[in-house]
Amino acid sequence: MGRFAYWMNVSLDLRIEQVPGDDGAGEWLRIDEGLHREFNARARELAVMVQGRVMYETMEEYWPRARTDASLPDFMQEYGHIWTDVPKVLVSRTRTEAGHNTRIFGGDDAIEQLAALRAETGGTLGVGGATVATQLLRARLLDELLLFTHPSILGFGRPLFDDYDMPVDLDLLEHKSFTNGVTMHRYAVQDAKEAS
């Protein structure tokens, strides 16, 4: 059985966007070479990447071209290869086609499809996107949070989860600090369902 891990950059007040559409490029983020190499190492270990449409389209726009862009540092070119090569699932009601080693789960049964994927996959399934993560949390299928916390308080913007109003108990699995002030916390979600 696999494990769904919601992987996200967050502010200290658990915001993932300062303004709609900043798509992970906010000035509050402190992504330097050391942090990016950490991203690369963790992404390389993923069995599958599961992304909502907005997250997928943001990644699709940039990373396939980054693989061969000689003006970029090697660690960014490397992530371009990782993102393109790792098997992906796009969760979308509107997209019917996707490249880059991607399957599409859509319609009313997307969460059931994801539950079946979790049951049949060994390893970690990295989740990107608040909408998908919130749906998995509601279905008690979200196993872990992998949060890279940047030392900024935004005060407004999109939260880590969409309209989730139930307490969730977590167990700290791993903690790491980076020289740029970012901290990483990996948590297990206590009430995640076992695969059936």
Tell me the pLDDT of the chain (196 aa) as tens digits: 999 999 999 999 999 987 766 655 678 999 999 999 999 999 999 999 999 998 999 899 999 999 999 999 999 999 999 999 999 999 999 999 999 999 999 988 999 999 999 999 999 999 999 999 999 999 999 999 999 999 999 998 889 998 878 889 999 999 999 999 999 999 999 988 876 5
| Number of residues in the chain | 196
- ∠ CA(136), CA(17), CA(78), 5° rounding? 80
**Cα separation, 25 vs 19, whole angstroms:** 10
Indicate the pTM of the whole model: 0.92
**Cα separation, 194 vs 196, whole angstroms:** 6
- In the chain, the domains with their CATH numbers are 2-189 (3.40.430.10)
78-114 per-residue burial string, b: 16 or more CB within 10 A, e: under 16: bbbbbbbebebbbbbeeeeebebebebbeeeebbebb
Per the structure block, which two tokens stand in for 64? 């396939």
Identify which of 65, 74, 40, 29 has the alpha carbon closest to the alpha carbon of residue 182: 29
